[in-house]
Structure 1
Amino acid sequence: MKKIFFIVLISVAAIFPQEMRKNAAYSLFSDEKASRVGDAITIIVVESALATNNAETKSGRQTELGFDFSGTMDKTKLPEASLNIGSGNDFKGSGSTKTSGVIQTKISATIDSVLANGNLIIRGSKKITINGEEQLISIKGIVRTSDVRADNSVLSYNISDAEITFEGNGIVSDVQSPGLLTKFLRMLF
């Protein structure tokens, strides 16, 4: 009886082969990691940026041309002539910019597609509204499955071709933008 049961079990396994990768999510011995289209993944955004740019330009140019004529002839005094032409040009300019920013948050994302090499294309966004000020954080990029941690999260600096957008809309952003008259005068001058 045991022999027949064993033969039937092997026959059923041979008739219905199973893909190990597909069933790995149901294993008692492996972690369930996001790896299929539609799976959720947590992105831990830890980004900081600092950029400084200084520029200084100084140029000068000066041209002078002079002509002087004076003299006498047989005790007759000739008229004196003098001609001086000068030109000058001086320019000095300087400017500097400094930008810094830090973003730390967690965003839930989903897998849009899986590339042929197994890498995952992910996309997610988070919208926060506080006192009428709306902030939208969007992120998309490519993640290697080996960078997905056991808790189904990935750090933002492990995302290749990452596009992280942080936009604000509301009272604070309205006050920071120039008015219509200022915009019009900038176009003219």
Structure 2
Amino acid sequence: MSTTDIDKATSETRQAATDTLDATANQTGQAMDAASQLADQAADQGRDSIEANANVIGQAMAETIESAVVAGQVMAASMGAAVIGAATAAVEGMAAQGEQMRQATSQLQAAGGAAAGSEGSDEQEQQAADDVDSDEPEASDADAPQASDTDNEEDDEEQAGTELAEGMAQAGRERDPSAG
């Protein structure tokens, strides 16, 4: 085998090795590119999936929160109505109690006025009786009643009877104001 043949074979071997290395490098690069693309696609799909899930979860949470807010507003409104109703009932109850107290006070005042009128009429009757007694002349053996004295006594008794009747009428009016 000549030197030329050896050089030629060596050159061909080198070229084949170089071609093989280049092809391998190209295939490896392509495989790496494909793997990278697959990884990017998976990442994109993962992000899309995560975003989609996050959107669904976020929407569900937002709807839940909104429902809770609406429920809270309904509860607040119903509680407010209940509180207002209770306060109204309490005020009405207090007003009714106040009216009862006013009526009781009026009854007490009327009873006090009637009692005072009763005492006053008793005093008037006693005073009228005293007036009758004081107007009657004391009988004595020395002074016999004269005709003129008898006339005066009748006038005095009539006056005392009139005063007594007026006193009793006044007492009746004080007991029952509607009567007079």
Calculate the TM-score normalised by the size of structure 1: 0.22
User: Computing the radius of gyration over CA atoms, which structure comes out larger, 1 or 2?
Assistant: 2
Greater fraction strand: 1
